[in-house]
Structure 1
Amino acid sequence: MLQNESYTPEEISKLLKVSKLTVYDLIKKGELQAYRVGRQMRVDQEELENYKSRGKETRLAAPAKESQQSSSSIVISGQDSSLDILGKKMEAQSSKYRPLRSYAGSLDNLIAMYQGRADIISTHLFDGDTNEYNIPYIRKFLVSHSFIVVQFVKRRAGLYTAKGNPHKLSSWEDLKSNKIRMINREKGAGARVLLDEQLRIHNISKDELKGYNNEETSHLAVASAVANGKADVGVGIEQIAKITAIDFIPMIDESYDLVMLKSGKNQSLISDVLEVLNNADFKEELQSLGYDCHGIGQIIWEQ
Structure 2
Amino acid sequence: MTRQDDSIKCMVRDYRQKQGWSQKELAERIGIKRQAIYDIETGRYLPNTGISLRLARLFGCRVEDLFVDDTPEQQQGVDLVNGTCLPSTRLALSRVRDRLVGLPLSGHDAMPFGLRSADGLLSEDGKHARIFSPSQTLDHNIILMGCDPAFEILSHHVNRLVRDAQVYCRFASSRRSLRGLGEGVAHIAGSHFHNQDQKESNVIAASRDLQQRRTKVIGFSLLEEGLMVAKGNPLGIRGVADLVQPMVRFVNRDCGAALRVLLDDHLQKAGIAGPMINGYLTEVDSHREGAFRIACNVADAALGLRAIAEAFDLGFVPLTAVRCDLLFPEDLIDHPTVKVVLDVMHSSALRKEIDALPGYEASATGKVIAEV
Residue of structure 1 in register with 2:123 after alignment: 48
Counterpart Cα distance in 1 of 2:208 and 2:272? 26
1:123 and 2:191 correspond: yes
Quote the sequence identity (%). Answer: 27
SS at match of 1:126: coil
1:3-57 CA-partner distances (Å, limit 9, x unpaired): xxxxxxxxxxxxxxxxxxxxxxxxxxxxxxxxxxx87242555x725xx4xxx94
- Following TM superposition, by how much is the alpha carbon of 1:133 offset from its aligned partner in structure 2, in angstroms? 4.6
Which one of the candidate residues 254, 276, 286 is aligned to 2:322?
254
- Following TM superposition, by how much is the alpha carbon of 1:129 offset from its aligned partner in structure 2, in angstroms? 5.6
Residue of structure 1 in register with 2:364 after alignment: 295
Counterpart Cα distance in 2 of 1:134 and 1:179? 36
SS at match of 1:222: helix
| 1:134-149 → structure 2 map (5 Å cutoff) | 134-149=202-217
Deviates more, 1:253-262 or 1:282-291: 282-291
- Following TM superposition, by how much is the alpha carbon of 1:217 offset from its aligned partner in structure 2, in angstroms? 2.4
- Following TM superposition, by how much is the alpha carbon of 1:208 offset from its aligned partner in structure 2, in angstroms? 1.1
| 1:60-99 → structure 2 map (5 Å cutoff) | 71-94=139-162, 97-99=165-167
Q: Is the 8 A contact 1:127 1:136 kept in 2?
A: no
Alpha carbons of structure 1 residues 44 and 161: separation in structure 2 relative to 1, 3 Å: closer
- Following TM superposition, by how much is the alpha carbon of 1:228 offset from its aligned partner in structure 2, in angstroms? 2.9
Give the TM-score taking structure 1 as reference length.
0.72
Query: Structure 2: 5+ residue runs without aligned partners?
Result: 1-113, 130-134
Query: Structure 1: 5+ residue runs without aligned partners?
Result: 1-37, 61-66
- Following TM superposition, by how much is the alpha carbon of 1:116 offset from its aligned partner in structure 2, in angstroms? 1.0
Which one of the candidate residues 274, 281, 291 is aligned to 1:223?
291
1:167-193 CA-partner distances (Å, limit 9, x unpaired): 332232222333322111223333222
Misfit runs of 4+, over 4 Å: 127-133, 267-271
Count of aligned residue pairs for this structure pair: 252
Alpha carbons of structure 1 residues 214 and 84: separation in structure 2 relative to 1, 3 Å: same
Counterpart Cα distance in 2 of 1:94 and 1:234? 38
- Between structure 1 and structure 2, the one with the greater Rg is 2
Residue of structure 2 in register with 1:272 after alignment: 340
Counterpart Cα distance in 1 of 2:220 and 2:196? 21
Q: Is the 8 A contact 1:41 1:100 kept in 2?
A: no
Q: Is the 8 A contact 2:165 2:337 kept in 1?
A: no
Residue of structure 2 in register with 1:16 after alignment: none
SS at match of 1:81: coil
Give the TM-score taking structure 2 as reference length.
0.60
Supply the RMSD in Å over aligned alpha carbons: 2.9
